[in-house]
Amino acid sequence: MSRKTIPSHLQAYASKQDYDLYTPINQAVWRYVMRQNYHFFRDLAHESYQDGLEKSGISLDRIPRVDEMSKCLEPFGLAAVTIDGLIPGVAFFDFQGHGFLPIATEIRTLKHIGYTPAPDMLHEAGGHAPILSEPKFAEYVRLFGQIGAKAISSREEHELFLATRKLTQVMEDPASTPEMIAEVERVHAEKMKAATVRSEATEISRLYWWTVEYGLVGTRSDPKIYGAGLLSSISEGQHCLSPDVEKIPFDVDVCIDTDFDVTKQQPQLFVCQDFDQLIEGIKHYSERMAYRVGGTQSLEKAQRSGQVTTSVYSSGLQVSGVIVELLYDEQGEAIYLRTEGGTQLSFEDEELPGQGCAVHHHGFSAPIGRVEGLGKQLEELGLVECGELGMRVGSQVSLRFVSGVEVEGTLVNMTFQRDRLTLLSFKDCKVTWGDRVLFEPEWGTFDMPVGERIKSVYAGPADHDRFVFEEQDVWTVHKPAVVWTDLDDLYQEVRDLREEQRTTWEAMDVLARLHQVDPDDWLLRVEILELAIAFEDKSLESRVRAELSEISGRRLESRSLIENGIKLAEQEPHTILVKQMT
């Protein structure tokens, strides 16, 4: 999909898929995992999986082009967008809420072929995309994105996210030294230990994990796999249906109470009856979120986050900024809020003229609550009623709130939206609460949102396109030019032999050279074995089997991968002679 169709506030997270950066080894890793998963999951995954691969433009034989995938997803009301690895949860969910499937363009290394905690093409494309061809599941993912984008996180969680992103980058970087890995693991462990606050983002990420990533559907006795984490991991996928993994009926509250460890196989999984149950579940959960509840507790969530959030007054006026202070009445209800840094005032997600971060660049403060002496809420007053109460532009106005906050100054502007008073602007204004001065006349214009209560609080600014963040993280990862190794050349030769259906005497030559280049490489030997079996070359087959047996004996971590490769080569000997989809 064209970059222009991506919402402007999300374009900073989008990247470009440079297909020429994929090496023959990358392609072989994709092919091995996808062929293994396809043949293993075709009877164990949700019924949409097998057809969903083709419908979403995914070939078993080669890494997909995301632009082509995006065109294939259009009939489902979706599109694909490339990103660089991990991005903030709010942005990830926002993409999904707008109908985009974020796809990390990296591909796991051969060393981590079985599983990697870093997002990659196998996970995003091979795991997520096929099940999205199921309309109800696509509806759930999009709804989840719309709700998840509003989830408020804690300051510690954001720091943990940055540490996790760094960890995944270092772990997958071939140039990383053991010392570099140890250091990022140390920092990550520290941040994880500090992230003890259970926020909305914590709960929403757990619900996402146990459904979209690791979910099962059907019955506990015969569940089907739909979670992308299972469908993209050889080891997880084969482990998940064993009796050792407890199958728990899907329940939102149990899901959000259950933490997970991305580095370990999951000891339990949740089984939903159908995808309608998931849709009802996320709707049920949203009822307790700050964007639906509002009030003091929601403002406190925003303050604890230390990040930009939006507080919506009952008049509809939206205040977007970093809340740093709340004042309370005797009942413990928030009566005044203060932000620091750029702050934006909006209505219906559109910044009001002259009320952006450039004007409120030092922060913002405003009262919350009912004004004394009025027969109705302030936002319910019309222009005539305001005039009858002495509130006219150019007049001296004094407002006293039930909380004791007093605002006194010259009224210079009244803003109405949809016939409701939303904003009063004063000059020469002083705001006090008892002995405390909250705003001095020399500080400039005092813009006072109108609203008796805060009806909603959510993550991020109201008008993304106009909000100016003081610190912009750079998400684009520099990717150095790729230089093929001698081993890559051998992998390419075998791919050419397979696709051009040439005889195996050339494969024997590749095998001989492989001894010199990498005596421990097992994956290319599995591909050569496929050719030997398909062409019934018993001499080559015998030699490759002997070498794979030797490697399996001295490299125990690769034994199951080798055995699975041999098993599939024996079960599907002629499929490799059929020209694969490109």
State mean pLDDT over 469-498. 79
Domain CATH number, residue 390: 2.30.30.100
Q: Are residues 278 and 299 in the same domain?
A: no
In a domain, residue 22? The reply is yes
Average pLDDT over residues 229-252: 90
pLDDT of residue 1: 41
User: In the chain, how many domains are there?
Assistant: 3
393 domain-assigned: yes
In a domain, 145, yes or no: yes
| Model confidence pLDDT, tens digit, residues 27-63 | 999 999 999 999 999 889 999 999 999 999 999 999 9
The pLDDT score that the predictor gives to residue 144 is 97
Whole-number percent of the chain with pLDDT over 70: 95
What values do phi and psi take at 479, rounded to 5?
-115, 110
Residue 279 is predicted with a pLDDT of 98
Q: Are residues 350 and 379 in the same domain?
A: yes
Domain stop point among 229, 253, 282: 282
Residue 327: count other Cβ atoms within 10 Å of its Cβ. 18
User: When comparing pLDDT for 189 and 366, which is higher?
Assistant: 366
Contact 97, 149 (CB under 8 A): yes
Mean pLDDT of all residues in 412-421 = 94
Range of the domain at 534: 486-577
Note the pLDDT tens digit of each residue in 76-123: 889 999 987 778 888 899 999 999 999 988 898 898 888 777 788 999
* Mean pLDDT of the region 461-484: 74
pLDDT for the residue 537: 93
Give counts: helices (H), strands (E), the chain: 21, 17
282, 304, 326 — which closes off a domain? 282
- Shared domain for 265 and 306, answered yes or no, is no
**Claim to verify: residue 92 and residue 241 sit in the same structural domain:** yes
Residues 428 and 329 in one domain: yes
Q: What tokens appear for 84 in the block? A: 């660089």
Residue at which a domain ends, from 459, 478, 512:
459
Residue 261: predicted pLDDT: 83
Length of the chain: 582
CB contact set of 185 (below 8 Å; sequence gap of 6+): 167
pLDDT of 573 reads 62
**Residues 352, 386: one domain?**
yes
Q: Is the pLDDT of residue 581 over 50?
A: no
**Secondary structure of 26-85 as H, E, C letters:** HHHHHHHHHHHHHHHHCCCECCHHHHHHHHCCCCCCCCCCHHHHHHHHHHHCCEEEEECC
**Shared-domain flag, residues 310 and 231:** no
Q: What is the pLDDT of residue 157?
A: 83
Residue 471 DSSP SS3: coil
Query: Which residues, listed in sequence order, are joined to residue 468 by a DSSP beta bridge?
Result: none
Give pLDDT, residue 579. Answer: 44
| Residue 98 shares a structural domain with residue 209 | yes
Average pLDDT over residues 406-419: 96
Quick one: average pLDDT of 526-535?
A: 94
For residue 375, report the phi and psi dihedrals to the nearest 5 degrees.
Answer: -80, -10
The CATH number of the domain where 116 resides is what? 1.10.800.10
**pLDDT greater than 60 at residue 478:** no
Residue 177 domain flag:
no
In a domain, 319, yes or no: yes
Strands (E), 418-534: 420-433, 436-439, 446-449, 454-459
**422 & 513 share domain:** no
CB atoms within 10 A of CB 464: 17
497 and 448 assigned to the same domain: no
Q: What is the mean pLDDT of residues 3-29?
A: 88
Cα–Cα–Cα angle for 163, 164, 169, nearest 5°? 100
Cα–Cα distance between 459 and 462 in angstroms, integer? 9
Measured distance CA(118)–CA(66) in Å, rounded: 18
Q: Average pLDDT of the chain?
A: 91
pLDDT band at 161 (very low <50, low <70, confident <90, very high): confident
Q: Average pLDDT of 387-406?
A: 95
Q: Are residues 96 and 144 in the same domain?
A: yes
Same domain flag for 421 and 568: no
CA distance 103 to 91: 13
In this model, does residue 163 exceed pLDDT 70? yes
Cα 288–289–295 angle (5° rounding)? 95
Residues 6+ apart with CB under 8 A from 576: 498, 530, 531, 534
Q: How do residues 260-311 score in pLDDT, each as one tens digit?
A: 887 788 999 999 999 999 999 999 999 999 999 999 999 999 999 999 999 9
- Is the pLDDT at 2 greater than 50? The verdict is no
Residue 210 lies in a domain: yes
| Rounded distance between C-alpha atoms, residue 47 and residue 68, angstroms | 23
φ, ψ at 104 (rounded to 5°): -75, 130
Longest dimension (CA), the chain: 101
Q: Residue 155: CB partners within 8 Å, gap ≥ 6?
A: 304, 305, 306, 307
pLDDT band at 4 (very low <50, low <70, confident <90, very high): very low
Q: What are the tens digits of pLDDT across the range 500-509?
A: 888 788 999 9
**pLDDT computed for residue 575 by the predictor:** 59
467 assigned to some structural domain: no
Q: Does residue 160 lie in a domain region?
A: no
